[in-house]
Amino acid sequence: MTLRFGTDGVRGAANTELTPELALSLGRAAARTLGGGPWLVGRDTRLSGPLLAAAFTAGLASEGASSVDLGVLPTPGVAYLAAADQLPGAVISASHNPFGDNGIKLFAVGGLKLDDATEDRLEAELEALEAEGIPGSPARPGGPLVGSLRAAPDAWERYAHHLEGAVLEGRRLPGLKVVLDCAHGAASVVAPRVLAELGAGVTVLHADPDGTNINDGCGSTHPEALQKAVVARGADVGLAFDGDADRVLAVDASGALVDGDQLIALLALDLQGRGLLRDDTVAVTVMTNLGFRQAMARAGIRVLDTPVGDRHVLAALAEGGLALGGEQSGHIVLRDWATTGDGLLAGLFVLDTMARTGRSLAELAAVMDRLPQVMVNVRLPRRDPDLLDRLALDVSRAEIALAGRGRVLVRPSGTEPVVRVMVEAPTAAEAQAVADELASAARAAASPPTP
């Protein structure tokens, strides 16, 4: 097996790296490891989605596991249905990647992301299947024990009803003018219909998927068209999703981008004010902007730091019984209402906050001042586990220089010989200067000694 589980399942170039043969084997391994289901299987709008979904469900069926085809549905929609029906689930999606990539994300029973131990068992099962080879095995079920496949045409409607009930509790969004950028992805049907049903005036961008245009110059990774459209149409707010709609970024009425840190900040204050922010605590990654931390401190909200990656945020929320967490990228988890990040759910919470308070998005987002943040990736000749120790003095000097005014974070990549240098400072110029100095120090410390 050439592909391994990353932070969000298996991902690679469709049909060359992530092949139908691999998808079929993963379906078999999933049935053996996570149970016979029935499995809920959804996908985004990529050209390769039906191919890989067919192969994956064939693998399930060959192990006697039935599956339910949810069709095109956001990743959080699959997770919601898996939680509601207490079933395992799978999503064929590569999230914000270009259309030529695809991936397979798995949810355990109840819509929960897999832990490391389960992923290890899946990989071991895949390796065993590779060793077994292609020929049939007498141990496989036959006759009436072969798994079946059925469709669920009401899947998106069930998800839509959940969103409306979870967020608004009978409230509506009359008069609110919203522009949606659906990234030609999985939100293209459900997001416009939910907003229209709730009484908002909706303008829709990039909701005509053709299998190859997902994330192409649009969505949360390219919000420029949305920013222009919000201003041109005199809208109150814009929401941009990624390809599988587990992320959201927003645009205020002036066209300014509101990132995940700012959205989490305004949601934290709103939930706190309504008594819904348990333990007055929010979980975010170490990459979250210092301005967020300062805003939370002013509000008496504790910030719980996690390593980079939404799975770490989810683990912290589950362990602490917390309600809110997320990442700067717009992956926002409202744990009382969803088992994973949900861009449409988070977006609806933001719109509801605007409608209830009568405040604009710009006013709500002004709760935090976002400090300029610079990231420099330093490629090393090889993995160097002792490099951070050799950089400790340089990092300490930078932290002293920025004490009370900024922040420094130097961390190694978990997958490649790269050190990531992140600096926040009052001005972009100062942040860039400090980051460049630390990057130079890292390169010097990593250089092989001169003979």
User: Taking a C-beta distance cutoff of 8 angstroms, is the pair 406, 426 a contact?
Assistant: yes
CA angle 201, 204, 205 (to 5 degrees): 150
State both tokens at 287: 């990459």
Q: Cβ–Cβ contacts within 10 Å for residue 444, how many?
A: 11
Pairing assessment for the beta strands 112-113 and 407-412 based on DSSP bridges: unpaired
CA 199 from centre of chain: 28
User: Taking a C-beta distance cutoff of 8 angstroms, is the pair 197, 377 a contact?
Assistant: no
User: Taking a C-beta distance cutoff of 8 angstroms, is the pair 301, 270 a contact?
Assistant: no
Find the catalytic residue in 48, 95, 188, 220: 95
CA 406 from centre of chain: 27
Instruction: Give the integer Cα–Cα distance in Å for 259 and 4.
Output: 30
Residue 24's contacts (CB-CB under 8 Å, 6 or more residues apart) are 55, 56, 58, 59, 62
DSSP-assigned states of every residue in 78-144 = HHHHHHHHT--EEEE--TTS-TTEEEEEEEETTTEEPPHHHHHHHHHHHHHHHHH-SS--TTS--GG
Residue listed under structure tokens 């994956």: 56
Q: Cβ–Cβ contacts within 10 Å for residue 64, how many?
A: 18
Q: Is 360 a catalytic residue?
A: no
Helix, strand, coil abundance in the chain, percent, nearest 5 = 40, 20, 40
Phi, psi (degrees; rounded to nearest 5) at 178: -125, 135
Length of the chain: 451
Residue 280: DSSP 8-state: G
Residue 135's contacts (CB-CB under 8 Å, 6 or more residues apart) are none
Instruction: Give the integer Cα–Cα distance in Å for 363 and 360.
Output: 5
CA 270 from centre of chain: 22
380, amino acid identity: L
Q: Which residue numbers are catalytic?
A: 95
